[in-house]
């Protein structure tokens, strides 16, 4: 085994240009054969009303609107003709009041990094983009509480709070583009969930605008508040279907003083599972990320980026990060764990990165997977949670099932949280390939009592499969809640809940 040494990991501030294969993106409505809901169509008078509200912060030129119509993974294309960019909660309220009175459907868009088609229009919905609402309103350095607008980019917030001795309670590879409001609306998980828990615990309050323009002030900054139902929880993970989040208060964990990253290879998935269990038992109190990748994933990243695999080819790789308050203590614990795992034959080869460049290179292998997939071809992206015992079996089954149509099939993910990302890459948008994956994968996941979406949400792509993870009674109650908050169904139609023609 190569020498294990320790290092300080600083936050990666990599910003990547989006590059992708040149395959045309099909129109969502046509490709998925969706019938348009009974909504009004945007007229010149509507555009005048929007202009009166937001001034010049509106886009109507097709070339300007185009990026808002196409999703990050280039699977979906909407047909909107107008993007409105409010600057205040009041403006959001006026826009929604008008849309509600006119029966105009809307889609809220943050950084448009969502992976299930929640953020792009299906037909001609009005796009309400939050990017101009990007002010930090306050940072309480005594209590560690941030209050900011929903359009703040996650990475900007991370850098800002880090200078004050805190970190954001979430981190994900889309941080350079995703917005905190979008993170809340999708209840984003990411690589630090195992350490800091989900946004349901870290968001203390929010301001939300309801479909009819009502402003709901839930912007508490208290950690504890048991006065009635905790309404903000309903908006976390609601994917823009219940209201538009405009401001949030968030609990900030203190910035760890010491961070270490280890990258190791394993010969079997059984050994990967044992590494997970052993690391939780031996270094659980400082563990901040526990990720795994198969060799197909690592191969694809090295094929499409300048990054190189620092270890020999092996079926599986595990990335472990620790974050604590005493580097010597953390380093010692990590080294003890690595030594034990190596002696027990769980690890084939490994390294602890020794400088920031190497740390970023190791994290890059994991964080630049989406970029590599987009360069390879058309991505069929899945996100499921499973008991660890069944975790990798489905990747092998899927690889076999689609091998005659797919370019590659890979598995990676937040193994510390039981969250697998299964991805198939093909050379085109193929309904035949899609039909081989779905609903087979969802049936299999439901059979093992997993979730068909532990992270990315249901959005447009998975809404009809909600019954695979929720009972009929639960979905009926969700539909009732939707009707209460949005009686005309103008907020993000065709998303999250199953839609009927």
Binding site for ligand FAD (CB under 6 A): 72, 107-115, 118-119, 130, 150, 172-174, 178-179, 181-183, 185-186, 188-190, 239-240, 244-245, 370, 455-456, 459, 492, 495
* Burial degree of 162 (CB within 10 A; 0-12, 13-18, 19+): middle
Q: Between residues 291 and 331, which has the closer beta carbon with respect to ligand FAD?
A: 291
Q: How far is CA 324 from CA 42, 100, 113, 411, in A?
A: 53, 50, 30, 29
- Cβ 81 to ligand MLT shortest distance, Å: 30
Binds 314, which of ligand MLT, ligand FAD, Zn ion, none (CB < 5 to 8 A, cut-off by type)? none
**Cα separation, 145 vs 55, whole angstroms:** 33
Cis peptide before 55 (omega within 30 of 0): no
Nearer to ligand FAD, 42 or 209 (CB): 209
Q: Report what 240 binds from Zn ion, ligand MLT, ligand FAD, none; CB cut-off 5-8 Å by kind.
A: ligand FAD
CB of 173 to Zn ion, least distance (A): 8
Segment 376 to 415, residues that bind ligand MLT, using CB under 6 A: 381, 383
State how far the Cα of 496 lies from the Cα of 473, in Å rounded to an integer: 16
* CB burial string 441-458: b at 16+ within 10 A, e below: bbebbbeeebbbbbbbbb
Q: With contact defined as beta carbons under 8 Å apart, do 485 and 28 qualify? A: no
Q: Which does 181 bind (CB under 5 to 8 A by kind): ligand FAD, Zn ion, ligand MLT, none?
A: ligand FAD
HEC string of 131-165? CCCCCEEEEECCCCEEEEECCCEHHHHHHHHHCCC
Nearer to ligand FAD, 149 or 330 (CB): 149
205 binds, among ligand FAD, Zn ion, ligand MLT, none (CB under 5 to 8 A by kind): none
- Closest contact distance (angstroms) between CB of 242 and ligand FAD is 8
Note the maximum CA span of the chain.
Answer: 73
* Closest distance to Zn ion from the beta carbon of 129 (Å): 24
Binding mask 451-470 for ligand MLT (x = CB under 6 A): ----x---------------
What angle, rounded to 10 degrees, do the helices at 89-102 and 44-54 form? 160
By the rule CB under 6 A, 286 interacts with ligand MLT = no
- In whole angstroms, how close is the CB of 421 to ligand MLT at the nearest point? 4
Find all residues with CB under 8 Å of 224, minimum gap 6, and list them.
none
Q: Applying CB under 5 A, which part among 30-38, 338-346, 449-457, 477-485 lies near Zn ion?
A: 449-457
In the complex with ligand FAD, the residue whose CB is nearer, 37 or 240, is 240
Closer by beta carbon to ligand MLT, 208 or else 408: 408
Q: Which helix (H) or strand (E) holds 376?
A: helix 369-376
Q: How many CB atoms lie within 10 A of CB 19?
A: 10
Question: Between 28 and 109, whose beta carbon lies closer to ligand FAD?
Answer: 109
By CB under 5 A, what part of segment 455-474 binds Zn ion? 455
Interstrand relation of 316-324 and 106-109 (parallel, antiparallel or unpaired): unpaired
Residue with Cβ nearer ligand FAD (66 or 267): 66
Neighbouring-strand partners of residue 272 = none
Supply 429's token pair: 């948008």
Q: Pick between residue 462 and residue 468 the one whose CB is nearest to ligand FAD.
A: 462
| Residue 111 near residue 178, CB atoms below 8 Å | yes
Q: Which residue is nearest to ligand FAD (CB)?
A: 182
Buried b (16+ CB within 10 A) or exposed e, 323-336: bbeebeebbebbbe
* Least spacing, CB of residue 307 vs ligand FAD, in Å: 15
Which two tokens mark 376?
């390879």
Q: What six digits make up the tokens of 12?
A: 């990666």
Query: Which residue's CB is nearer to ligand MLT, number 247 or number 383?
Result: 383
Contact residue for ligand MLT among 87, 368, 421, 461 (CB under 6 A) = 421
CB of 238 to ligand FAD, least distance (A): 7
Per-residue contact flags (x/-) with ligand MLT for residues 53 to 92, judged by CB under 6 A: ----------------------------------------
Look at residue 324 and give the partner it binds from ligand MLT, Zn ion, ligand FAD, none, a contact being a CB closer than 5 to 8 Å depending on partner kind: none
Report the distance separating Cα 125 and Cα 107, nearest Å: 6
Classify burial at 218, counting beta carbons within 10 Å of its beta carbon; exposed 0-12, middle 13-18, buried 19 or more. buried
Site for ligand MLT in 159-198 (CB under 6 A): 173
Report the nearest approach of ligand FAD to the CB of residue 406 (Å).
21
Residues with Cβ within 8 Å of 345's Cβ and at least 6 positions away in sequence, in order, are 271
Per the CB < 8 A criterion, the answer to whether 152 and 138 are in contact is no
Q: Which does 346 bind (CB under 5 to 8 A by kind): ligand MLT, Zn ion, ligand FAD, none?
A: none
- Interacting residues with Zn ion between 348 and 367 (CB under 5 A): none
Instruction: Please say which residue, 15 or 404, places its beta carbon nearer to ligand MLT.
Output: 15
Binding-site partner at residue 211 among ligand MLT, Zn ion, ligand FAD, none, CB < 5 to 8 Å by type = none
Question: What's the per-residue H, E or C state across 161-204?
Answer: HHCCCECCCCCCCCCCCCEHHHHHHHCCCCCCHHHHCCHHHHEE
Which partner in ligand MLT, ligand FAD, Zn ion, none is near 108 (CB below 5 to 8 A by kind)?
Answer: ligand FAD
Alpha-carbon gap, residue 72 to 113, rounded angstroms: 5
Residue ranges that bind Zn ion, judged by CB under 5 A: 455
Residue ranges that bind ligand MLT, judged by CB under 6 A: 173, 369-370, 381, 383, 421, 455
């Amino acid at each position: 085994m190569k020498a294990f040494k320790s290092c300080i990991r600083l936050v990666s501030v990599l910003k990547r240009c989006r590059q992708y294969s040149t395959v045309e993106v099909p129109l969502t409505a046509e490709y998925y054969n969706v019938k348009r809901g009974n909504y009004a169509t945007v007229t010149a008078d509507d555009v005048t009303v929007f202009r009166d509200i937001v001034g010049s912060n509106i886009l109507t030129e097709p070339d300007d609107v185009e990026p808002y119509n196409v999703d990050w993974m280039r699977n979906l294309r909407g047909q909107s003709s107008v993007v409105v960019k409010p600057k205040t909660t009041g403006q959001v309220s006026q826009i929604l009041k008008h849309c509600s009175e006119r029966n105009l459907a809307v889609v809220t868009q943050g950084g448009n990094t969502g992976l299930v088609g929640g953020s792009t229009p299906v037909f001609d919905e009005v796009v309400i983009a939050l990017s101009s609402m990007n002010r930090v309103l306050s940072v309480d350095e005594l209590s560690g509480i941030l209050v900011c607008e929903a359009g703040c980019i996650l990475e900007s917030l991370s850098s800002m709070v880090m200078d004050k001795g805190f970190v954001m309670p979430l981190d994900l590879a889309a941080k350079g583009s995703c917005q905190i409001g979008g993170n809340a609306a999708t209840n984003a998980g990411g690589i630090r969930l195992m350490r800091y828990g989900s946004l349901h615990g870290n968001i203390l309050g929010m301001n939300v605008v309801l479909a009819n323009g009502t402003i709901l002030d839930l912007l508490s900054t208290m950690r504890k508040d048991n006065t009635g139902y905790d309404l903000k929880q309903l908006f976390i993970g609601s994917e823009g279907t219940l209201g538009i989040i405009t401001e949030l208060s968030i609990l900030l964990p203190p910035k760890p003083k010491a961070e270490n990253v280890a990258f190791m290879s394993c010969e079997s998935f059984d050994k990967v599972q044992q590494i997970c269990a052993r690391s939780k038992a031996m270094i659980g109190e400082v563990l901040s990320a526990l990720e795994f990748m198969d060799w197909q994933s690592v191969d694809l990243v090295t094929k499409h980026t300048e990054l190189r695999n620092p270890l020999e080819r092996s079926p599986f790789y595990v990335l472990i990060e620790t974050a604590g308050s005493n580097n010597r203590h953390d380093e010692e614990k990590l080294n003890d764990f690595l030594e034990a795992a190596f002696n027990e034959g769980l690890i084939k080869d490994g390294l602890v990165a020794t400088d920031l460049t190497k740390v970023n290179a190791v994290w890059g292998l994991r964080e630049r997977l989406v970029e590599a997939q987009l360069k390879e071809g058309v991505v069929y992206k899945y996100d499921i949670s499973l008991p660890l015992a069944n975790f990798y079996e489905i990747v092998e089954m899927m690889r076999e099932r689609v091998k005659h149509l797919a370019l590659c099939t890979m598995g990676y993910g937040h193994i510390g949280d039981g969250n697998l990302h299964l991805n198939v890459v093909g050379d085109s948008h193929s309904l035949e390939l899609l039909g081989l994956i779905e609903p087979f994968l969802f049936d299999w996941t439901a059979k093992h009592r997993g979730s068909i979406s532990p992270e990315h949400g249901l959005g447009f792509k998975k809404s009809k499969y909600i019954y695979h993870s929720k009972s009929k009674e639960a979905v009926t109650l969700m539909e009732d809640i939707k009707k209460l908050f949005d009686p005309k169904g103008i907020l993000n139609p065709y998303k999250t809940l199953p839609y009927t023609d």
